Amino acid sequence: MAGINPIQLQKYLKGVEYPASKDDLLRQAETHGADETVRRALNNLREQQFQSPAEVSKAIADSES
Number of domains within the chain: 1
pLDDT confidence of residue 64: 76
Residue 1 domain-assigned (yes or no): no
**DSSP at 18:** S
Residue-wise pLDDT for 3-42, tens only, equals 788 899 999 999 999 999 999 999 999 999 999 999 999 9
Q: Contact at 8 Å (CB) between 3 and 59?
A: no
Residue 35 domain-assigned (yes or no): yes
d(CA 18, CA 25): 10
Residue 36 domain-assigned (yes or no): yes
Residue type, 13: L
User: What's the predicted TM-score (pTM) here?
Assistant: 0.90
Give the chain's largest Cα–Cα span.
28
Domain that residue 60 falls in: 6-64
pLDDT confidence of residue 59: 94
